[in-house]
Structure 1
Amino acid sequence: MTQAAIALNDVTRTFTRQAGDGADEDSGIRVLKSITLDVPTGSFVALQGTSGSGKSTLLHIIGLLDRATSGTYHLLGQDVSTLDDDHQSDLRNLALGFVFQSFYLIPYATALENVILPGLYSGRPRSELVARAESLMEQVGLSDRMNFKPSRLSGGQQQRVAMARALLNEPKVILADEPTGQLDSTTSRELIKLFHTVHEAGTTIVLVTHDEEVAREADRVIRLHDGRIVEDITAG
């Protein structure tokens, strides 16, 4: 059996609501409710759900950007609840790559410099990082845009820079939150082709999307509603 890259057991996430927000006393809003989920290594999974369903909160917990209120979470076989914030940050930087809807590129840095950014804390020589970044820029079709700043790039080009950045440290898992949300249909299809290329190389992908067409590109679609998994469909 393939080892789970991501394994959550009975995970909940509750946000505190302070008294005065319509409550008589401090109370909690439970956004995730008893989430149990295994994502085998090498999977391509889409998370779907309406606004407020909990899909982005779930992605943030998987990405070590937030902590579960209760339950257990193992990433690549490691119980992340035993790690302090610094060790979680190290694991996040080395094991995970992120692609967001809003790109989050540094406006005053070139495309190449943006790609190099995740490697600055890895201890690898800068020459090695530059060579890796240049190779990735070529793979995403932007070898002639390395020295351009984000303002000179289209939305699709900026997202491809973000994809190259996510791959710099050769992560085991790519997490994507509505990566096609700001792209037109043609550019979206081009980006999804890049995701397939990365997936075929063995990388696990978890992608949040509201787009049915994008979700169908995944091998497995998990739908959330009101903080719970209500449907788990494997393609084929």
Structure 2
Amino acid sequence: MSNPIEEGKKLAAYRAVDEYITADHKVIGIGSGSTVVYVVERILQRPELKHIVYIPTSFQSKLLIIDGGLTLGSIEQYPEIDVTIDGADEVDSDLNVIKGGGACQFQEKVVAEAAKKFVIVADFRKKSKLLGTEWTKGVPIEVVPMTYQSVMKSIDTKLSLKPLSSKLRMAVNKAGPVVTDNGNFVIDTHFGPIQNPLALLREIKLLTGVYEVGLFCQMVEKAYFGEENGTVDIWTK
């Protein structure tokens, strides 16, 4: 029996690839997450896209590129990207996004900012009016390990928006915290509904020890959401 959520992700990913990636492109950014699997699947179904260089945002997307026999590149080699397609944990009505549930927010943001066009693919569960309403696990804040205690204290005392909860993300199958691809820790901070994500992002980034924040503001051109009924809902600026 087919899974409507997975079918939705697939539809959204295929549509985004078909509308945004052409044979004229030279460099494409490949994001992280479950929906991005279908992005690569669709790329592999289109032989005219095989010559393009693909830049990963995580170990997961790097493997997808390599296993698919596509050309792997790095941001050091290709600092300018035509299009980046990525998943999301939550998207608000202004196309602000929470990302970092998979602890890849730093690479994801680097590759997104390097792109001329940044596109999101997700399923309908990721839609929300305000960030922090549907995704309640918190905004992922990547921090240098030695600073995690001081950053957590600063989050509690120095921000205009007071957090409802803030905790160090712990690994599931090992004793200790999650360690990012950059060797850092992640603090998940839930603020409740976020009225002004950009202002919050700027405040958090100013805290000493913060490496990156999983708030992606004023970056997304278009978001594709796979619906349960087999349609794709498209949000644009």
**TM interval, short-chain normalised:** 0.3 to 0.5
Q: Which has the higher contact order (CA 8 A, sep 6+)?
A: 1
Select the structure of larger CA radius of gyration.
1
